[in-house]
């Protein structure tokens, strides 16, 4: 996580903000920093953005989905009408 974002988290903690209610990552300063990171390196790390309760709920949902997911599919585009295939090196995620 960037130094700007760490500073926003620290400000929230020092100010006694409830991490489940105060969304520091939607402040103008944090959004500008995340935007700059995305433009520069094409990714951005934002620690603890969900909060403990939401992260636990998401984890439970993902665990419940096990066995209901399948390999993602690619389509042939303009020249491969109705062609569908898997290629883990291109797209290795699971979908449901």
- Please give the distance of CA 30 from its chain centroid, rounded to a whole number: 16
Residue 42 lies in a domain: yes
Residue 84 lies in a domain: no
Give me the number of domains the chain comprises. 1
List the pLDDT tens digit at each of the 96 positions of the chain: 888 888 888 888 787 877 667 778 888 999 999 999 999 999 998 887 887 888 999 999 988 988 888 888 777 666 656 667 667 777 777 787
Q: What is the pTM of this model?
A: 0.53
**Domain that includes residue 39, residue range:** 3-69
Residue 47 lies in a domain: yes
């Amino acid at each position: 996580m960037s130094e700007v974002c760490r500073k926003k988290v620290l400000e929230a903690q020092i100010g006694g903000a409830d991490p489940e209610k105060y969304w520091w990552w939607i402040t103008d300063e944090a959004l500008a920093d995340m935007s700059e990171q995305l433009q520069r390196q094409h990714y951005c790390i934002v620690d603890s953005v969900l909060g403990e309760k939401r992260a636990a709920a998401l984890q439970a949902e993902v665990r419940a989905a096990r066995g209901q997911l399948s390999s993602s599919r690619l389509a042939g585009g303009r020249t491969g009408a109705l062609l569908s295939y898997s290629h883990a090196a291109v797209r290795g995620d699971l979908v449901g």
